[in-house]
A and B are shown apart, each in its own frame.
Chain A
Amino acid sequence: MPNKPFAITLKPGTSLSNLTGSWRSARPVYLDRLPPCNNACPAGENIQGWLFHAESGDYEQAWRVLTLDNPLPAVMGRVCYHPCETACNRAQLDQAVGINSVERFLGDEAIKRGWKFDKPAASTGKKVLVVGAGPSGLSAAYHLARMGHKVEIHEAGPLAGGMTRFGIPKYRLPREVLDAEVQRIVDLGVTLKLNTKVEHIAQSMKAGGFDAAFLAVGAHIGKRTMIPAGDAAHIVDAVSVLRSMEGEDKPMLGRRVVVYGGGNTAIDVARTVKRMGGEPIIVYRRTRDKAPAHDFEIEEALQEGVMVKWLSTIKQAGAGEITIERMELDDKGFPQPTGEFEKLEADSVVLALGQDVDLSLLEGVPGLEVKDGVVQVGPNMMTGATGIFAGGDMVPSERTVTVAVGHGKKAARHIDAWLRGTTYLPAPKHELAEFKNLNTWYYSDAHKTVRPMLDIIRRQTSFDEVQGGLDESNALFEARRCLSCGNCFECDNCYGVCPDNAVIKLGPGKRFEFKYDYCKGCGLCVEECPCGAIKMVPEDI
């Protein structure tokens, strides 16, 4: 600094030559942690990822990111039991983010706006047969098609959708929504052959020249149980009842309908009966809190006037009435008979005791292993038969639409790898973003948006959709409730709170970088990162 007093007067900003990074014993590093929603999603959706785009109002991009994993957001936004919300860290702050409602909004928006999937990758020349147009089959077909394979779906029934159509009532999933999302997959170039039952998989593959097959025939055979019944007793299974709702001939169940079971299907049947003008009574052997049905579904059923006999089993079914026995739970929570009986008026009994898989198409296929009524698959979703993969309700797993969609994606990736002669290796999972990793002080107080519900009279008398969707403003609000657990959402906190200006802001979408020359390792950025996307790692000293 010529002409200025020596030593007393200094040039500005010259401390840059003092590299304070050498003081550090630990360094902050950016990382992506696995958000609990993503971790919990059976369909493997990148929920935090698509909410990120929804937060900025870029719904199309959000939808595109969402559909990289799941082609059926409008369906899932209605029927998924959203384990993501159960896992959501925000639940520990106020209430979980309404992920499901935003997903539905995106799905509906896509239908409304006519968004199409991106064109598939270049054709691989490989052909894959997908058996069954349920959620798993549709999912697999979608992913395989996007990977460039030629896909044919062979569906035994008259319409696509599988259990989403034949097992879930309209009031939960309007059919035009389902149709629109199926059509979008077909528009991708997937061949959908309806009323085409695959009788024998090996033959169908050979006949069609398929290089691989994905079986997803679902579980459509209602389980029966032995109930002593007179000839006049009218006993049907829940799947048949729900399926017949989709056809011309509505089921004839009479006025008083006993639904036997405590699962979601039992609830669906009971609520369907109510809408048809009947008087449903659910008989279940255990208590409400032990019932496998989701509590909100039970609650909605009760609101609509569905009666429930908890702790009861059917001992005998006759014409116009049944006998039930009161049960009580033992120490281990199992129901035990009490010998106390009661008679109930019943024009029919609907058994909602679960479903079995029709495995007839697999007969004679070497290597296939069937156990407990379901097909065994390896970690890559391939059955014991080379080139034949399976998923959805026909393999051992929880039977939900979301799991089925997840199977479809997972199988598609493995089929793709197998067809290319490689092995699909999923990227290693990031460490989980736990609540303790967050600094929740930074999030605005915001309670979950309550979705509108159809009025009770129409719920009891029509098949109109019960739960409404979000509109744009509250979908945006709900998306912005996301804490972005474990993933930088560019809040600028690290950039702001560093006392040493040792963070570089790289610009929109590019996140941040540390200037390790100056970072002293104080850890303020880690502590003040709202979403836990930075951690300290010890320096090698």
Chain B
Amino acid sequence: MGYQTVKFYQTGTYTVGNRLLAPDERSVQAGERRSNSINSGHRACQGCGEALGARYAIDAAMAESNNQLIAVNATGCLEVFSTPYPESSWQVPWIHSLFGNAPAVATGVAAAMKVKGRSEVRVVAQGGDGGTTDIGFGCLSGMFERNDDVLYICYDNEAYMNTGVQRSSATPPTARTATTMPVGKEPGNVFGQGKNVPEIAMAHGIPYVATATVADLRDLEYKVRKAMKMRGARYIQIFVPCPLGWGAASHDTIKLARLAKETGMFPVFEAEHGEVTGVLKIRNKQPIEEYLKPQKRFAHLFGKHAHPEMVAHLQAIADRNIRKYGLLDEEKVNAQ
């Protein structure tokens, strides 16, 4: 992957910082003067992956833009927990309009900056997976197609969490949601549906598309910063576990993101102008069960009325990702 892997420094680039690294090699998040774009006092649940991912991403964008940033937010958890009257957690200029129009609003902000000759001011739009892959998809595609100068960040927690955990087109097969209950012959969300928005974004031929997780901060920051160095439409989908919606422990948020990547369930890659240019390799491949078991949304796959065939199907999806994106190093593939 493109971010600089530093000479061996005890934890390399895996931890947020490390006193052994030169300051310019540390992450934005390691900085005592990071912008904390979304500040304390927000009302996100304990261990919220989205709150974390948002600060990671927006702080990085702030750092790269020299704090000349305007953020647009789709309706959703992030918006609700950050700006209930009378308090806002945002320290950046921020606007929330609607659930499905964040990309278009961002286009408008970018147009305003352009027309006013303020090319130094950069625009980020952000939303959850529902706001991005479903209701906001038309506007997103329009923004992509026009190559508007907007970085769109999707915080993907794989369902409509703010409304009470309903299925979105980013919900994985078998997952329990309030609208895909674990009952019937095919419990949970069905196989064969869903939308791969990063690949759809790539099909627009936009300058930059990437996926990232809250478990790989350095990779995430590298991608945000890289995206911010470019002009035109850019898309980053960040995998942000939701303890509440997934039925997981609040302290497992990062662990689950790590497992999603290490199992191959969530391929972490980047693409420029429609072509994959890098993947974040799996360090220590894990069987899919390791990822599924800590989450109650997959509980019906195990236990008394287990569905091993569905687990196998999910494993096959992960393995396909691994093959398709080349997520394992050669020697690790051979060792399989």
A261 CA to B277 CA, complexed, in Å:
65
Q: Does B308 contact A (CB under 8 A)?
A: no
A498 proximity list for chain B (CB < 8 A): 52
Looking at the complex, which one of A10, A443, A523 makes contact with B14 (CB distance below 8 Å)? A443
A492-B17, A497-B52, A507-B32 given; A518·B10 CB < 8 A: no
Q: Does A527 contact B (CB under 8 A)?
A: yes
A522-B251, A527-B252 given; A490·B39 CB < 8 A: no
A14 proximity list for chain B (CB < 8 A): 86-88
Q: Does A333 contact B (CB under 8 A)?
A: no
Structural contact, A490 and B254, CB atoms closer than 8 A: no
B284 proximity list for chain A (CB < 8 A): 441
Structural contact, A526 and B88, CB atoms closer than 8 A: no
A13 proximity list for chain B (CB < 8 A): 39, 88-91
Structural contact, B16 and A477, CB atoms closer than 8 A: no
Q: Which of B213-257 contact A (CB under 8 A)?
A: 217, 243, 249-255
A17 CA to B83 CA, complexed, in Å:
13
A517's nearest neighbour on chain B, judged by CB, is B40
Q: Which stretch, A18-26, A127-135, A195-203, touches the partner chain B?
A: A18-26
B47's nearest neighbour on chain A, judged by CB, is A522
Q: Does A386 contact B (CB under 8 A)?
A: no
A8 proximity list for chain B (CB < 8 A): 85
Q: Does B30 contact A (CB under 8 A)?
A: yes
Which DSSP category, helix, strand, loop or mixed, fits chain B's interface? loop
Q: Does A491 contact B (CB under 8 A)?
A: yes
A10's nearest neighbour on chain B, judged by CB, is B88
A517 proximity list for chain B (CB < 8 A): 40
Q: Which of B67-107 contact A (CB under 8 A)?
A: 82-83, 85-94
**Chain B interface bracket (under 10, 10 to 19, 20 to 34, 35 or more):** 35 or more
Structural contact, A501 and B36, CB atoms closer than 8 A: yes
A15 CA to B26 CA, complexed, in Å:
28
Q: Does B12 contact A (CB under 8 A)?
A: yes
Q: Does A493 contact B (CB under 8 A)?
A: yes
Structural contact, A497 and B254, CB atoms closer than 8 A: yes
A481 proximity list for chain B (CB < 8 A): 10
B181 proximity list for chain A (CB < 8 A): none
B51 proximity list for chain A (CB < 8 A): 499-500
Q: 1/0 per position for A15-53, CB-CB distance to B under 8 A? A: 111111001000000000000000000000000000000
Q: Does A446 contact B (CB under 8 A)?
A: yes
Q: Does B20 contact A (CB under 8 A)?
A: yes
Looking at the complex, which one of B19, B36, B41, B86 makes contact with A490 (CB distance below 8 Å)? B19
Q: Does B48 contact A (CB under 8 A)?
A: yes
B19's nearest neighbour on chain A, judged by CB, is A490
Q: Which of B38-78 contact A (CB under 8 A)?
A: 39-44, 46-49, 51-52, 55
Q: Does A505 contact B (CB under 8 A)?
A: yes
Structural contact, B41 and A492, CB atoms closer than 8 A: no
Looking at the complex, which one of A7, A442, A480, A520 makes contact with B85 (CB distance below 8 Å)? A7
Nearest chain A CB to B255 CB, angstrom units = 6
Which DSSP category, helix, strand, loop or mixed, fits chain A's interface? loop
Looking at the complex, which one of A7, A445, A492, A501 makes contact with B18 (CB distance below 8 Å)? A492
Q: Does A169 contact B (CB under 8 A)?
A: no
Q: Which of A495-541 contact B (CB under 8 A)?
A: 495-502, 505, 507-508, 515, 517-518, 520-524, 526-528, 530
Structural contact, B8 and A480, CB atoms closer than 8 A: yes
A2 proximity list for chain B (CB < 8 A): none
Q: 1/0 per position for A432-455, CB-CB distance to B under 8 A? A: 000000000111111000000000
Q: Does B258 contact A (CB under 8 A)?
A: yes
Structural contact, A444 and B14, CB atoms closer than 8 A: yes
A525's nearest neighbour on chain B, judged by CB, is B251
A19 CA to B40 CA, complexed, in Å:
8
Structural contact, A55 and B10, CB atoms closer than 8 A: yes
Q: Which of A209-250 contact B (CB under 8 A)?
A: none
Q: Which of B133-184 contact A (CB under 8 A)?
A: none
Structural contact, B16 and A15, CB atoms closer than 8 A: no
Structural contact, A20 and B251, CB atoms closer than 8 A: no
A515 proximity list for chain B (CB < 8 A): 40
B250 proximity list for chain A (CB < 8 A): 522-524
Nearest chain A CB to B6 CB, angstrom units = 9
Structural contact, A7 and B86, CB atoms closer than 8 A: yes
A508 CA to B30 CA, complexed, in Å:
12
Structural contact, A491 and B46, CB atoms closer than 8 A: no
A304 CA to B39 CA, complexed, in Å:
66
Q: Does B9 contact A (CB under 8 A)?
A: yes
Interface centre among A481, A492, A508 (most CB of B within 10 A): A492
Structural contact, A10 and B83, CB atoms closer than 8 A: yes
Closest 10 pairs (CB-CB, A-B): A492-B17, A496-B16, A15-B41, A523-B251, A522-B47, A444-B12, A522-B46, A10-B88, A491-B15, A518-B40
A residues contacting B by CB (< 8 A) are 7-8, 10-20, 23, 55-56, 441-446, 477, 480-482, 484, 489-493, 495-502, 505, 507-508, 515, 517-518, 520-524, 526-528, 530
Known: A12-B92, A499-B47, A499-B51. 11 other contacts (CB 8 A): A12-B91, A18-B87, A441-B14, A441-B284, A443-B14, A484-B10, A492-B15, A495-B30, A499-B48, A523-B250, A526-B251
A-B contact pairs, 29 of them (CB 8 A): A12-B92, A12-B94, A14-B86, A14-B88, A15-B42, A15-B43, A15-B88, A16-B41, A17-B41, A20-B43, A55-B20, A441-B283, A442-B15, A443-B10, A444-B10, A481-B10, A492-B15, A492-B26, A493-B16, A496-B17, A500-B51, A501-B36, A501-B39, A520-B46, A522-B48, A522-B251, A523-B251, A524-B52, A524-B250
